[in-house]
Each structure stands twice: as C-alpha cells, then as structure tokens.
Amino acid sequence: MMADLRVPLMGLRRTEDAFVEQLFTSAPAAGGHLVYANYARGYVDLNRDARELDPLMFHDGPPRAVGLPTPRVEAGLGCLPKVAVDGELIYARPMSKADGEYRLARVHDAYHGFLRATLDHFIKESGTAVLIDCHSMPSHQPGRKSLPDIVLGDRFGSSCSSKLTGLVERTFRKLGYKVTRNAPYAGGYTTRFYGRPKRHVHALQIEINRSLYMNETDILQTAGFKIVENDIKTVIKACCGFARTQMA
C-alpha cells in the first residue's frame, strides 16, 4: 500500500479513528468486551458492507460481488476507500483483485467474524447483547458551521432500544457535553447489520468530536484526552448497567 500511495501518509492518518480504543479501554473492567481494529479506515473501512466496492479501482476486476452503487462508493468512500481526507485519490495506480481480496479476508472478514462471535457469546450467556460502536469525527465539516461534541446514531430508533439511546444521551449531557442524535451520523453498516432490538441485540454508534481530545493536524493527544477518557468510563458503566437490565 505504501508503495502505491500518491498522497502523504498524514492525509490518510487524518481519516482514522485515532486513540478511540484507548478512550474505551475501561470496558473490560466494567463487565464488557473491547474489540478494536488493528488497521485504519484508509486500508479497509470496517463500517462498510464488503460489497460496497468501486470496480474501477481494480485493474483485473473486483475481488468479490459488487453491490448496487451507493453515494458513499461514488464519493470514493467504499469498503476499500479511494480518496483521502481532502478528496484526493489515494493510489497512483489501480489495485489488484488479489490485494483487494487479501484486505477483505484478512481485515474485514476477520473483524466482523470475531465481532459476531462475541455478540453470540453474550446472547448465549445472558439472552441479550449490547454493541457500542465507537468512532471519532472531525471538528469541522463542509457546509456545517459547527458540530456537537457527541453524535449518537441509532438508525433513527431502529438499531436499539430508545432507553439505551436516552440513557447514553443523558449521561453525556450530565457530564457537560453537547449531544445530538442521528445528525450528521445516523449509524453505519455495523449498527444497521447487527442492531436487532426485537431479537435482543442493541447497537448504538457513538461519534466523538476529535477536538475534545486530540490535535487533528498532528494526530497527537491533548490534555483533554484524560478528561474524555475518564468521562467515557461513566458512559461505559451506564451501558453495562443497561445490559444487565436486559438479561433474560
């Protein structure tokens, strides 16, 4: 990948969810599991369907069946992204089918296979599972004057109980954060695919404004990191408390 880049590596790093797994590192101590990616979004976007591919990215054809075109794929933001943070093309040449399949199998399939197994474990053990899908968002977005501190995405109420969304929203607000629901992020592939509240699987996406805890230009933690990390502990405890109330 590095050999084929036509953009600076920092252009890709500014798209990644830097340090998010560290913000949520207290999850196991609170009774949950922490599953996080070892590869960044610029390599494989785990919050996309594996069929969200641009066939024009490959010189010898796509590695798998391609789904219907979506606005995200057309914008270059499919499962294998084509553009970096400023809309520049990431690669100097088309990708091979073999490279695409390697990334999908080694990263996307492996991650979601492990995530499904983890959820199945909780369902078998307690009759329910709560998935908190953790992300970060840039502090500025074209066409918007400002973004809140936290965006909660529950697919407009379809991916989890409204009690969970309300609980997380109240918890963040009590801690002093500005919170919105489903705008501009309503939840991606992960919340849509796994969230089945009628089957006792609740999935909620949390987007955290990067300016709260990091320097977005240099990808470095700021003094705010420890504050956010400590506040996230309170949110995690609330989520685990909700999960216990749902146990069969």
Q: What is the CATH number of the domain that holds 23?
A: 3.40.630.40
Which pLDDT does position 172 carry in this prediction? 98
Element (H, E) at 186: none
Residue whose entry in the numeric block shows the structure tokens 């801690």: 175
- Answer for the pair 204, 133: CB distance below 8 angstroms, yes or no: yes
Count each helix (H run) and each strand (E run) in the chain, helices first: 9, 6
Burial track 68-102 (b if 16+ CB lie within 10 A, e otherwise): eeeebbeebbbbbbbbbbeeeebbeeebbeebbee
What is the rounded CA–CA span in Å between residue 107 and residue 103? 6
Q: What is the pLDDT of residue 85?
A: 84
Number of domains in the chain: 1
Phi, psi angles (nearest 5°) of residue 191: -65, -40
Q: How far is CA 20 from CA 14, 59, 201, in A?
A: 13, 35, 23
For residue 158, give its domain range. 2-245
Residue 134 near residue 206 (C-beta atoms within 8 A): yes
Helices within 104-184 (DSSP H only) = 110-126, 162-174
The answer to whether 222 touches 174, Cβ cutoff 8 Å, is: no
Are the C-beta atoms of 181 and 148 separated by less than 8 Å? no
The one-digit pLDDT tens for each residue of the chain (248 residues) are 999 999 999 989 999 999 999 999 999 999 999 999 999 999 999 999 999 999 999 999 999 999 988 999 999 999 999 999 888 999 999 999 999 999 999 999 999 999 999 999 999 999 999 999 999 999 988 777 789 999 999 999 999 999 999 999 999 999 999 999 999 999 999 999 999 999 999 999 999 999 999 999 999 999 999 999 999 999 999 999 999 999 86
**pLDDT value of residue 142:** 76
